[in-house]
Amino acid sequence: MKTHTSTAGSGITQINTEQLKEQIIRHLHSTLGTDVNKASPQAWWSATCAAVNEQVFDGLRNTQRTHYEQNTRALHYFSLEYLMGRLFSNNLHNLGLYSQAKQALSELGMNIADLEDQEEDMALGNGGLGRLAACFIDSLATLNYPAIGYGIHYEHGLFRQSFQDGRQIERPDSWREYGNPWEICRPESVQEISVYGYVETVYDLQGKMKKVWHPGRIIKGVPWDIPVVGYNGSSVNVLRLWESRASDFFNWDVFNSGGYIDSARENIEAETISKVLYPNDETDAGKELRLIQQYFFVSCSLKDIIRRYKRSHGDDWSEFAKQVVIQLNDTHPAVAIPELMRILVDRAEMQWDQAWNLCQQVFAYTNHTLLPEALEKWAVRLFEKVLPRHLEIIYEINRRFLVEQVDVLWPGDNDKKRKLSIIEDGHDPMVRMGHLSVVGSFRVNGVAEIHSQLVKSDLFPEMVALWPDKFTNVTNGVTPRRWLKACNPKLAKLLDEKIGTAWPTDLKQLSKFAAFADDAAVQDAFMAIKQQNKAELATVVKKLTNIDIDPHAIFDIQIKRLHEYKRQHLNLLHILALYRRILQEPDYDMTPRVFLFGAKAAPGYKLAKEIIYAINKIADKINHDKRIKNRIKVVFMPNYRVTLAEKMIPAADVSEQISTAGKEASGTGNMKLALNGAITVGTLDGANIEIAEEVGEDNIAIFGLTVDEVKALHANGYNSMDYYYANPEIKAILDWLETDYFTPGKPGELAAIKRSLLEGGDPYLVLADFETYVKAQEKVDQWYRDKACWAKKAMLNTALVGKFTSDRSIEDYVSRVWQLEKCAVKRS
Ligand code: BZD
């Protein structure tokens, strides 16, 4: 019998297969109350998690003690979303225990893959922004930076998607219905927060004015800690998520006065706050509950930070900005700025200037979007109702900003004041959260080079004039532990053999793999792995959709949220063009291709849902059309999520990154797919530009208008009708959508797409980019015909995207924004 021993690093106890087996059985008995003969897979999974947690908690204690003893400066990442996915195999990999666990379980008669499937995804996020937060906390722990993630402990994460007659159906996600082994409740750190009510102006005995907020409701925040295990067991940091509960104090009052029902209602209302994640990405909901969610987690988190600070510094605030830096993941947590001001001015009785100075040293803000509809604004009346004192504070921040900054640089310029004001004027005045975030932060960053440039030139040009040094870039990245090592074990093994095992924490090492790009034997090995991954995905596809796909076809994958700017409908028009060509020319020569989609549409986003419906209907028609001879297959995978991404990405040949230039801030799926050897078909948008720089133009299929061309086209008046009449293929395809060809007996069911592209003016320039897109796809088809040529390009993609590790992003944040020191964890 082989006995592996863990290679885990300093913070974690080493353990071997035999010890792991003993621990699993012990937990089956004493934690799960069952035994090996009758335990369900769920019980085996829980027992294994409990065994893993013995190592995790060890690391957690060591890390927390070390940070406390060393009194380290720490990053506090504020994010409304964390899209964690599953933690089981990730924690095993990061502890260096995966192969031990696999062997231990196998000796106990269990298959590790079956146990992995027992776990629900922790889907507490919508898309890129939430997944980025998850990659970042992985890298922070791996790099030994003291950091804590703060967010909301949603009872229901992102909805589960299924299709009924091709239409998206949403069902609630109950990810922790039967408990979650990875989280620890911390009742000792409960916080209470206030909302609603009114503000009273009072004067003390010296005649000094004070503002007193009399809240209308008090809510309890209960923290749940999720250990974040660094790779090789370096540090174990914490993700602290707040759950809302009714405050005991508040409710007993009502209860005692006989208002049992009222008390129950208030309970429900308080608990509603952390009930569900808002499923809108990009467009903002603007609803009262969302503002309360934002304030709830921000206020709990700030109080938590201050409690910890006061433990070592008492009421002396002089070290606060040295100890604490807070990153705002988009504007969603920006209410932290007035909240910290309130705590400092109203509670700690600090002078305004001193408090403001402190705030401006503590906060930094990441922008993730330029889409106008996604720039968060709150109606002043709503703010006043929910957070009356904070609105006053925002007005004061704004007044001083306009007088002391704007009017000094542009004296008497009311246009500038109107543009820069945190309060947008109008019949329904609004609080602009982006403006507030820029004014209240010491640093502002975009998430890819071009995006950061556009943040400066198009979004906040005057703010740049005021504070040129405030603005910087940090290009996004992804963790190679989850997105290569764990999800693509065969490729990981090949890399280990060819370039050594340092790449998971030093991804630039991958460039050594470029030396093998012309080596026929390595090409064969690389392509054989891709082939096996494709065969495995074909099995998953069959199981989920009952569609047969050929693993020898090109696997062309578009996985991301459904949004017009991401242009899944451009992909669809290309599919229709190929289909039509085959029908018109039965011997049309093309490499067989499987088009795979994975995407959720926001439940209220009508056109996005119509696009899903159209893809499903067209898929159904094409997949059953014998004349196609399997040259095209179309699959819409239901319920796209992290776990499905982990199965699709290793199997991709082609990565669709086809947003309108200037609209996709960065993208991170583009990085994951290239890392796993997919060739990008993409526009010069977001991080695609930097991927192209890294892999070289021979190894990526770039098409479409550039950002400048997009701007020029809009400026000169874009008319999509011109393309409709000028290109017979476009006309035929769009007209096709109006017939009942894909929806027998129901003509017009797919017409919404045509309408948006013609009458709707085609805001995302689908028709303008159609022709070059089709050409790029033809080029890809030609490339694929030459196996050696394709293998080389695919291998070079893997080899040359080392820049896009989230470890590099974190080091960029550290040097450009956070100024943290690494802290090696000592074992007790
Ligand atoms: O953030 C995404 C951008 O669209 C991507 O280009 C970028 O790569 C990632 C990470 O920086 N933005 C989002 O995912 N945004 C949201 O999910 C979101 C959620 C709620 C409200 C508004 C936006």
Which residues fall within 8 angstroms of residue 638, CB to CB, at 6 or more apart?
Answer: 161, 162, 163, 544, 545
Q: Rounded to 5 degrees, what angle do the CA atoms 439, 810, 236 make?
A: 115
Q: Residue 508: which CATH number? A: 3.40.50.2000
Q: Sorting pLDDT into bands at 50, 70 and 90, what band is 80?
A: very high
Query: Is the same domain home to 81 and 64?
Result: no
Helix/strand/coil for 754: helix
Q: Can you give the pTM of this predicted structure?
A: 0.97
Task: Please tell me the predicted confidence (pLDDT) of residue 233.
Answer: 67
Does position 381 have pLDDT exceeding 70, yes or no? yes
Residue found by looking up tokens 């997105």 in the block: 483
pLDDT digits (tens, 9 = 90+) for 243-272: 999 987 555 555 566 677 777 777 888 889
Measure 94 CA to ligand 1 centroid, in angstroms: 26
Q: CA-CA distance, 145 to 148, in Å (whole number)?
A: 10
Ligand 1: atom nearest CA of 283 is: 22
| Dihedral angle of Cα 545, 551, 552, 555, to the nearest 10 degrees | 60
pLDDT digits (tens, 9 = 90+) for 704-714: 999 999 999 99
Ligand 1: atom nearest CA of 285 is: 21
Query: Is the same domain home to 431 and 346?
Result: yes
Task: Please tell me the predicted confidence (pLDDT) of residue 500.
Answer: 98
Does position 155 have pLDDT exceeding 60, yes or no? yes
Query: Is the same domain home to 145 and 52?
Result: no
Query: Is the same domain home to 535 and 684?
Result: yes
Q: Which two tokens stand for residue 674?
A: 């290239």
pLDDT digits (tens, 9 = 90+) for 297-316: 999 999 999 999 999 999 99
Q: CA-CA distance, 272 to 626, in Å (whole number)?
A: 52
Kindly state the greatest CA–CA separation across the chain: 93
Query: Is the same domain home to 45 and 173?
Result: no
Whether 352 is in a domain gets the answer: yes
Q: CA-CA distance, 636 to 545, in Å (whole number)?
A: 8
Closest residue by Cα to atom 16, ligand 1, is 281
Task: Please tell me the predicted confidence (pLDDT) of residue 11.
Answer: 61
Range of the domain at 760: 482-804
Does position 4 have pLDDT exceeding 70, yes or no? no
Whether 600 sits among the annotated catalytic residues: the reply is: no
Ligand 1: atom nearest CA of 126 is: 17
Q: CA-CA distance, 643 to 637, in Å (whole number)?
A: 12
Residue range 666-681: average pLDDT?
Answer: 99
Q: CA-CA distance, 334 to 245, in Å (whole number)?
A: 23
690, 475 Cβ separation under 8 angstroms: yes
Residue range 502-511: average pLDDT?
Answer: 98
Whether 825 is in a domain gets the answer: no
HSE of 149, CA atoms in CB hemisphere, 13 A: 33
Measure 123 CA to ligand 1 centroid, in angstroms: 15
Q: Which of 688, 700, 657, 446 shows the shortest CA–CA distance to 565?
A: 657
Catalytic pick from 102, 485, 569, 672? 672
Query: Is the same domain home to 749 and 766?
Result: yes
Whether 21 is in a domain gets the answer: yes
Does position 6 have pLDDT exceeding 50, yes or no? no
Whether 75 is in a domain gets the answer: yes
Q: Which two tokens stand for residue 188?
A: 């000792």
Q: Sorting pLDDT into bands at 50, 70 and 90, what band is 234?
A: confident
Catalytic pick from 4, 102, 245, 561? 561
Closest residue by Cα to atom 5, ligand 1, is 667
Does position 283 have pLDDT exceeding 90, yes or no? no
Closest residue by Cα to atom 21, ligand 1, is 281
Measure 452 CA to ligand 1 centroid, in angstroms: 14
ipTM (interface pTM): 0.99
Whether 102 sits among the annotated catalytic residues: the reply is: no
341, 356 Cβ separation under 8 angstroms: yes
Strands 74-78 and 147-152 come out as: parallel
Ligand 1: atom nearest CA of 278 is: 20
Task: Please tell me the predicted confidence (pLDDT) of residue 595.
Answer: 99
Whether 668 sits among the annotated catalytic residues: the reply is: yes
What is the best residue among 77, 129, 664, 691 to mutate for testing ligand 1's pocket, by most ligand atoms within 8 Å of CB?
Answer: 129
Catalytic pick from 63, 668, 680, 798? 668
Query: Is the same domain home to 486 and 535?
Result: yes
Q: Output the CA–CA distances (angstroms, integers) from residue 463 to 402, 458, 623, 792, in the order listed.
A: 12, 11, 53, 46
Whether 624 sits among the annotated catalytic residues: the reply is: no
Ligand 1: atom nearest CA of 374 is: 22
Measure 204 CA to ligand 1 centroid, in angstroms: 47
Helix/strand/coil for 412: coil
Closest residue by Cα to atom 8, ligand 1, is 667
Residue range 120-137: average pLDDT?
Answer: 98
47, 32 Cβ separation under 8 angstroms: yes
Query: Is the same domain home to 10 and 150?
Result: no
Please, what is the angle between helix 98-107 and helix 17-30, to 10°?
60
Between the two ends of the chain, the Cα-to-Cα distance in Å is 32
Measure 131 CA to ligand 1 centroid, in angstroms: 9
Q: Sorting pLDDT into bands at 50, 70 and 90, what band is 71?
A: very high
Residue range 54-76: average pLDDT?
Answer: 96
Q: Which two tokens stand for residue 303?
A: 């109080």
Measure 403 CA to ligand 1 centroid, in angstroms: 34
Q: Which of 487, 481, 504, 560 shows the shortest CA–CA distance to 228?
A: 481
Task: Please tell me the predicted confidence (pLDDT) of residue 7.
Answer: 44
Does position 409 have pLDDT exceeding 60, yes or no? yes
Q: Is the dihedral of CA 802, 95, 21, 115 positive or negative?
A: negative
Q: Output the CA–CA distances (angstroms, integers) from residue 505 to 87, 101, 152, 401, 502, in the order listed.
A: 19, 22, 29, 44, 6
Q: CA-CA distance, 528 to 525, in Å (whole number)?
A: 5
Q: Which of 425, 430, 423, 371 shows the shortest CA–CA distance to 402?
A: 423
Query: Is the same domain home to 265 and 215?
Result: yes
Please name the amino acid found at residue 448: A
DSSP 815: I
Q: CA-CA distance, 234 to 641, in Å (whole number)?
A: 28
Q: Sorting pLDDT into bands at 50, 70 and 90, what band is 282?
A: confident
Q: Which of 458, 526, 485, 360 shows the shortest CA–CA distance to 98?
A: 485
Whether 42 is in a domain gets the answer: yes
Query: How far does CA 134 lie from the centroid of its chain?
Result: 7
The residues lining ligand 1, judged by C-beta closer than 6 Å to any ligand atom, are 126-129, 132, 280-282, 284, 368-369, 374, 447, 476, 664-668, 686
Whether 561 sits among the annotated catalytic residues: the reply is: yes
Average pLDDT, the chain: 96
Closest residue by Cα to atom 20, ligand 1, is 281
Helix/strand/coil for 650: helix
Total domains present in the chain: 3
Helix/strand/coil for 268: helix
Rounded percentage of the chain residues whose pLDDT exceeds 90:
93
Q: CA-CA distance, 255 to 265, in Å (whole number)?
A: 11
Query: Is the same domain home to 395 and 499?
Result: no
Query: Is the same domain home to 546 and 459?
Result: no
Closest residue by Cα to atom 22, ligand 1, is 282
pLDDT digits (tens, 9 = 90+) for 27-63: 999 999 999 999 999 999 999 999 999 999 999 999 9
pLDDT digits (tens, 9 = 90+) for 616-646: 999 999 999 999 999 999 999 999 999 999 9
What is the best residue among 276, 368, 375 to mutate for testing ligand 1's pocket, by most ligand atoms within 8 Å of CB?
Answer: 368
Beta bridge mates, 363: 326
Q: Which of 82, 193, 85 shows the shortest CA–CA distance to 148?
A: 82
Beta bridge mates, 557: 596, 655
Ligand 1: atom nearest CA of 81 is: 19
Task: Please tell me the predicted confidence (pLDDT) of residue 284.
Answer: 79
Whether 582 is in a domain gets the answer: yes
Catalytic pick from 27, 176, 368, 617? 368
Does position 191 have pLDDT exceeding 80, yes or no? yes
Q: CA-CA distance, 95 to 106, in Å (whole number)?
A: 19
Would you tell me how many other CB atoms lie within 10 Å of the CB of residue 43?
Answer: 19
Q: Sorting pLDDT into bands at 50, 70 and 90, what band is 15?
A: confident
Q: Which two tokens stand for residue 471?
A: 């603005």
Whether 672 sits among the annotated catalytic residues: the reply is: yes
Measure 367 CA to ligand 1 centroid, in angstroms: 9
Task: Please tell me the predicted confidence (pLDDT) of residue 12.
Answer: 67
Measure 668 CA to ligand 1 centroid, in angstroms: 10
80 φ/ψ angles, rounded to the nearest 5 degrees: -75, -10
Catalytic pick from 290, 560, 633, 647? 560
DSSP 30: H
Closest residue by Cα to atom 18, ligand 1, is 281
Measure 368 CA to ligand 1 centroid, in angstroms: 6
Q: Which of 828, 827, 823, 811 shows the shortest CA–CA distance to 146?
A: 823
Annotate 566-600 with DSSP letters as a single string. Answer: GTHHHHHHHHHHHHHHHHHSTT-----EEEEEE--
Q: CA-CA distance, 73 to 822, in Å (whole number)?
A: 10
Residue found by looking up tokens 């470890």 in the block: 807
Task: Please tell me the predicted confidence (pLDDT) of residue 250.
Answer: 53
Does position 3 have pLDDT exceeding 60, yes or no? no
Measure 538 CA to ligand 1 centroid, in angstroms: 30
pLDDT digits (tens, 9 = 90+) for 384-400: 999 999 999 999 999 99
pLDDT digits (tens, 9 = 90+) for 510-559: 999 999 999 999 999 999 999 999 999 999 999 999 999 999 999 999 99
Task: Please tell me the predicted confidence (pLDDT) of residue 249.
Answer: 59
Query: Is the same domain home to 224 and 140?
Result: yes
Whether 340 is in a domain gets the answer: yes
Closest residue by Cα to atom 17, ligand 1, is 281
What is the best residue among 83, 281, 293 to mutate for testing ligand 1's pocket, by most ligand atoms within 8 Å of CB?
Answer: 281
Whether 466 is in a domain gets the answer: yes
